């Protein structure tokens, strides 16, 4: 299946693994790339340029296919060494960078000069157009269904994707609510050139997270996510648990007076304990509504091969019957 995204990134299938905190390690990225998709290392999980360089080298030992590094630009009084991380990405010969968060314009000239393709994650048409205007090669359009940060507009993908198709000239992929062949075919019918999956890739055998995390996704329904930090305008979709319920009680009680410090126990530094130790009730962690469509824990290759085979069947048989 050739699309503008497969041609832009030099991959076989129009399927991208999103950058996920304490999930996007070399093991998962290499497995996705080896299966024909685009795997992604999460840069800020590594934290320092030295650790990121080691992870890039590790990934190169596991695959000779293209892979990406996600670099999320966050507002912070003590920001990561972004210039150092960019230098390591360039020096490591990474061909693709997925940017997210704040405007990446400051770092685009260096990335583009090195021949690196940049795809920016956006939750609105206006942000997608901005990404296009500053020179990004592609956009990942993130609908309200997504795990993590869906923005503040609350527009689901059945509206957001065709709106993006109406406005954008650069190619885009659909992100949020993507899990299977139906997701891919529907996204492409709405104007996307592929899809980005996050939550679905956590529930795979190669995902380097605790089995409790994978099981919690398989056991969840589409009703089991919650939106937190709305009053802080830093909305995040997470899987419900005891910590999330405590956090939401604080939000309800404090309203607009809520500060990040009020909920720090539930959100700060909890990912290593959840993802690697399997202590599921210790805090809030990102998960999409798509958990309701996840019923098994296949290998990455089984997942991607199944999606592509089923997509072919949908296009050739079900749609052909009409």
SS (H, E, C) 252-316: HHHHHHCCHHHHHHHHCCCHHHHHCCCCCCCCCCECCHHHHHCCCCCCHHHHHHHHHHHHHHHHH
Q: What is the pLDDT along the chain (322 residues), one digit of tens a residue?
A: 999 999 999 999 999 999 999 999 999 999 999 999 999 999 999 999 999 999 999 999 999 999 999 999 998 878 999 999 999 999 999 999 999 999 999 999 999 999 999 999 999 999 999 999 999 999 999 999 999 999 999 999 999 999 999 999 999 999 999 999 999 999 999 999 999 999 999 999 999 999 999 999 999 999 999 999 999 999 999 999 999 999 999 999 999 999 999 999 999 999 999 999 999 999 999 999 999 999 999 999 999 999 999 999 999 988 888 8
Is 256 inside a domain boundary? yes
183 and 226 in a single domain? The answer is no
13 and 162 in a single domain? The answer is yes
204 and 226 in a single domain? The answer is no
30 and 134 in a single domain? The answer is yes
Enter the DSSP assignment of 105.
G
Considering only CA atoms, give the Rg of the chain: 19
241 and 129 in a single domain? The answer is no
Q: Residue 269: which domain range? A: 221-286
Is 171 inside a domain boundary? yes
pTM to 2 decimal places: 0.96
41 and 98 in a single domain? The answer is yes
How does DSSP assign 15-59, residue by residue? EEEPP-TTT--HHHHHHHHHTTSBEEEEHHHH-SHHHHHHHHHHH
Is 108 inside a domain boundary? yes
Q: How far apart are the first and last CA of the chain?
A: 22
Is 300 inside a domain boundary? no
CA distance 61 to 52: 14
Number of domains in the chain: 2
CA distance 94 to 66: 8
Is 162 inside a domain boundary? yes
Is 174 inside a domain boundary? yes
């Amino acid at each position: 299946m050739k699309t503008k995204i497969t041609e832009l990134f030099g991959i076989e299938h129009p399927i991208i693994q999103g950058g996920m905190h304490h999930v996007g390690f070399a093991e998962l990225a290499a497995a996705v790339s080896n299966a024909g998709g685009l795997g992604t290392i999460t840069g800020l999980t590594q934290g320092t340029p030295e650790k990121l360089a080691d992870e890039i080298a590790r990934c190169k030992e596991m695959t000779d296919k293209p892979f990406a590094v996600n670099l999320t630009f966050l507002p912070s009084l003590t920001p990561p060494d972004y210039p150092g991380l960019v230098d390591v990405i360039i020096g490591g010969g990474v061909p693709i960078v997925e940017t997210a968060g704040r405007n990446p314009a400051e770092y685009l000239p260096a990335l583009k000069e090195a021949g690196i393709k940049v795809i920016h994650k956006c939750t609105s048409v206006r942000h997608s157009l901005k990404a296009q205007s500053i020179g990004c090669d592609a956009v990942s359009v993130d609908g309200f269904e997504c795990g993590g940060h869906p923005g503040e507009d609350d527009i689901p993908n059945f509206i957001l994707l065709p709106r993006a198709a109406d406005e954008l000239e650069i190619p885009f992929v659909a992100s949020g609510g993507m899990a299977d062949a139906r997701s891919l075919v529907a996204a492409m019918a709405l104007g996307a050139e592929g899809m980005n999956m996050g939550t679905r890739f956590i529930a795979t055998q190669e995902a380097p997270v605790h089995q409790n995390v994978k099981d919690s996704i398989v056991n969840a329904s589409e009703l089991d996510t919650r939106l937190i930090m709305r009053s802080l305008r830093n909305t995040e979709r997470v899987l419900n648990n005891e910590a999330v319920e405590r956090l939401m009680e604080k939000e309800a009680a404090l309203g607009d007076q809520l500060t990040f410090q009020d909920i720090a126990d539930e959100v700060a530094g909890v990912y290593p304990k959840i993802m690697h130790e399997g202590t599921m009730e210790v805090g809030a962690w990102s998960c999409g509504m798509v958990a309701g469509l996840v019923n098994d824990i296949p290998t990455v290759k089984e997942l991607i091969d199944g999606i592509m085979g089923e997509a072919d069947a949908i296009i050739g048989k079900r749609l052909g019957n009409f």
